[in-house]
Structure formats: structure tokens, C-alpha cells
Structure 1
């Protein structure tokens, strides 16, 4: 019996790719490099700063300049993290339906608190989340299960009664390790090179409201 639904943020509840891409392209412009098209940015957005810097500059996180680029990217993103970000169509009707069924809901994201503490309150939720766990809330991010377990504890439910919706392999890994069911948001930031059918999820949805079929 599902008592709570937990969600990833980027690519699952909120469409943040445009603001992330804008930050990357401002950094690229500073370095005299051409911008990256949105169509290339969107599938990588769930991988955050690391994935976007690798995309824009063609370098690995072990490159000596990587940390400087990451710091500057985050500074650019911090200046405009909510300019273009919106909730995906269907998210608010889903949250209202979950609440009507007596279910709790929350967010477990790898996004740092410096962003989630301001972005989440700025979004137009029909029902506010019962808990928000960021990538640095408990000291380790997904795929470690600790953020998932912390969210369940804060909501007052046991992990096995939770369902998690995300759009990345680490989301499924974290949910599984925490003893939760895992559903993949196929509408999210999934690239052509990803293989979501090998991630071991319990199901897939193409629209947020389809999640109601799984609770």
C-alpha cells in the first residue's frame, strides 16, 4: 500500500533545462566558445553541472580546469535559476489527486540546497511538498539511499510504502536500495544513449498524471 510519493526535481517535476542551458551558454560565451543548442542540452540536464560542462567543453571532470568551470557555471545558474523554469504540464493535477487520496509527497533531488531552498518555494505548487531533500542535505547524493530514507522518515512513513519517480538510472538505484518502488518519467531528461529499460524500474510513464495508475 503506497502512503507517499517521492519525486526527483529536474526533469521530473520541473522543466529546468532552459535555465541550466542558459547558464552553460553564458559560460561558453565568456570563454569565446559557441553556444550549445537546447536540443543537445535537454537530454543532459539531469546530470547537472558535470554533464553540462562535459557537453559544452568536451572535458572530463578530471581535467584541471573542470572545477573552475563548475564553480563559474553554478554562479551563472544562481543568477537566473528560475527565469525560464516551469512545472511540467500535469504535475499540479497529479499532486492534487495524490493529496485527495490521502497520500503524502516530497522531493528528493541531487540539486544543492543553495538552489532548492529558493527554487522550490518559487514554483507554483498546487500542494506544497511535505519534505525537500537536496543533494547535500544528508551529506551524500543519490544513488546512495540515505536521501530517500531521510525523506521517508521526515514524512513519517516506512520506505516500503513509498514510490519514487525519476528520470535517471541513479534514481532507480537509490529507490531500490531504500526498498522503494521506482517509476521512470519517460518525458524527462533521457538521452538517446540511455538505456532506461535496463535500469530495473517498476514501470514507465509518459505524462505525470499517468503515475496515478501506479499508486
Structure 2
């Protein structure tokens, strides 16, 4: 097989009778390759588009052109500094629970990923509230008075999720219980045990860490 396919990723299957798949590099504008059944090998898409197509391979050429435009779109997105950098995805809890929020290639926080569930949504709201106050990191979590309302709301919302999970189970006379599911508005599934536990952990952590800050802030207000 000719052509340098090192580092290339698989693209869209060309269901046009060619029996091949398209390969292209998201960072190399000159390296999209497709399998050409008439050549019997991998060839650059650019060579297909430049070729004076015969009636026999006009359909294939059309598919290749479509594939090429798709590649150019991917190429532009990957090289956009505001695009999500996949290597930054992965937090303590879901996408937004914890200190390791996703970032763009430019280094700024990126919120393109959808929250995985309602607990993750509350983390996202908390993070965005911090952004509005230019608050970042553990120091602001412990000392910044301007985000106290966001901290209190976060703790309340996370504990509410745990309470709603527990409310799904109600005992009945004579023993046993009835399960009445509460739907997670983000995931569309019933609130899970895992979501409940993670909400309780996050709510408890933020409560403990921010309690001294809240106590000091209220004492300062009372002395005014």
C-alpha cells in the first residue's frame, strides 16, 4: 500500500462500490488518502479531484470530493484555537466536577461538552459563576467572598440531588418499598446511585472547604 499513512485516522466509509475507506490526517492538509479500486491502492484525494474523470469513475470522484470537503472542515476545526482539546477532557467527577475542566487549544476553559447528568450540570453552573468573577482554583474557593452565593447554591443543589434520589424509594405497610423514579433532566434516565453518591461527596467537600469563608464573611457583615 503506497502513501505515508503514519498517524492518519480512519474516516468515512465510501459506500460507492470502491470497497475502501478514507484516511486523512486532522493536522496535515495535504494528507487525505482514499482507496481507489481502479488503481487498487491508496491515492491522494487531491489526485482524484485533479483527474479528468471518465464516466466510469465520476460517481467515485463525486464521493471523494465530498470526503475532501469533510476533511477540510475537520482540519479547520482542529486548528481553531477555540476548539476543545480532547487531551484535556477528564475530571474528578464527570466533565465539570473537580479542578480539571476541559480546555481549548488556546488554553482557556471550554464548555462545549454537554454535562453528563444533573450533578455535572450543577458543577458547570458553579464553574461559570466563578468565571464571571474571574475566580480560579483552590485559593478563590477558600478565600474569595464574591463567589459565596455560587458556593452555597452548589452545595444546596448537590444535596438536593441526593435527596431526590432517596425520595424514589418509599416503604409500604407490611414491609417492602415502592420505587418511583425521578428522572434526571440532563441524562433523561432515573437518578442513579452513582450520581447520588457523587453529588453527596461534592456537596460535602465544598461545604467543608467554604464554611470558614462563609463564617468570616457573615461575621464581617454583622460587625458593620
- TM-score category (smaller protein): under 0.3
TM-score (norm 1): 0.21
Bigger relative contact order (CA 8 A; separation at least 6): 1
For the pair shown, which has the larger CA radius of gyration, 1 or 2? 2
